[in-house]
Chains A and B, each alone.
Chain A
Amino acid sequence: MESPELTSSPRGKKRGRMAHSRAGAHTIAPPLEPGAPSDSELMKGIQAGDADALSQLYDRYNGILKALILRVIHNEAEADDLLQEIFMEIWNQAKNFSEQKGKPLGWMVTLARRRAIDGLRKKQAYARAEERLQNETEQQPDAWVHNATEEEIVLGDTRVLIRKVISSLPPAQQQAIDLAFFRGMSQREIAAKTNTPLGTVKTRLELGLKKIYDGLKDLKDEL
């Protein structure tokens, strides 16, 4: 999904849609074209061996998953290879997916993140990525959301709304979450990396994640 379709709210602003899992999670899903099958329907198709369902799911989410992988491993060719492996794993492991435990996108993101972090460690590219990360964090401590502009915020698509929530966090909290989620670092590793006391790292993670979690709830109310 290279360019998420936007829907118009009664207030005239373009908005994303909210999706809700059985557990009531306040998840935000990208908008779909009218009549397009839901993610759940596509997953059921994949579980039934329908290759076209996988093709549609790929078209919908390859851009998001590729961005996630790239955020972890910082290598275009490796990211493409991993993307292919991840969708093959989605095809092979679809029978293990249960809607009762969450939405398809959450399952795919969890799978992709785990594979990307594993790949990063296995290929011993960690040191090189660390070096790049060092440069990034020195130059742009809040690089995760640095390119959201006021214009984008007014447009209000799903991505920008989420980035708005994230960018409301102090840079130190963003950095701690970035290192934990996208680099798979433990609290101790983050503490060492940022030369910060362990207790401070824990507090930053707890406060930052709570703010994002609560911000997602507010987004649900707004939408």
Chain B
Amino acid sequence: MNFEQFQNQSRLYVIGALEAEELQEFEEAREKFGKKGEDFISKCYALHEAFALSLRPAKSSDAIKDRLMAMVKAKKQP
């Protein structure tokens, strides 16, 4: 696998779209490319942010935050 193919596979990898039989080859290439490969995979996670930010924010119930903060407070108490 050359680096361009690795880049294509990396983008599939971060969204969980690699098939099982592709994963092993990808992991071997990942090891071969070392830090350069890891840096590229890190960059690919920008796709996650982009997909989330492409959505129109949804309103959540006010009670959710109240419950969340109550749970956090309860957990902090000894």
Interface residues of chain A, those whose CB is within 8 Å of chain B, are 1-4, 21, 23-30, 49, 51, 54-55, 58-59, 62-68, 70-71, 79-80, 83-84, 87-88, 91, 101-103, 105-106, 109-110, 112-113, 144-145, 147, 158-159, 162-163, 165-166, 177, 180-182, 184-188, 202, 205-206, 209-210, 212-213, 216
Contact A2:B57 (CB < 8 A) given known A180-B15, A187-B19: yes
Q: CB-CB < 8 A to B51: which residues of A?
A: 68, 109, 177, 181-182
Q: CB-CB < 8 A to A27: which residues of B?
A: 46, 49-50
Interface residues of chain B, those whose CB is within 8 Å of chain A, are 7-8, 11-12, 15-17, 19, 39, 42-61, 64-65, 67-69, 71-73, 75-76
A62 near B53 (CB under 8 angstroms)? no
A51 near B69 (CB under 8 angstroms)? yes
A144 near B54 (CB under 8 angstroms)? yes
A162 near B54 (CB under 8 angstroms)? yes
A62 near B50 (CB under 8 angstroms)? no
Q: CB-CB < 8 A to A66: which residues of B?
A: 57-60
What are the 9 tightest A-B residue pairs by CB atom distance, in nearest-first order?
Answer: A63-B57, A23-B42, A67-B55, A209-B11, A66-B58, A25-B43, A67-B58, A180-B17, A27-B46
- The residue on A at minimum CB distance from B9 is A206
B52 near A109 (CB under 8 angstroms)? yes
Q: CB-CB < 8 A to B11: which residues of A?
A: 205-206, 209-210, 213
Contact A49:B76 (CB < 8 A) given known A67-B52, A84-B64: yes
Q: CB-CB < 8 A to B15: which residues of A?
A: 177, 180-181, 209
Minimal beta-carbon separation of B78 from chain A (angstroms): 13
B65 contacts which of A30, A62, A184 (Cβ < 8 Å)?
Answer: A62
Minimal beta-carbon separation of A65 from chain B (angstroms): 7
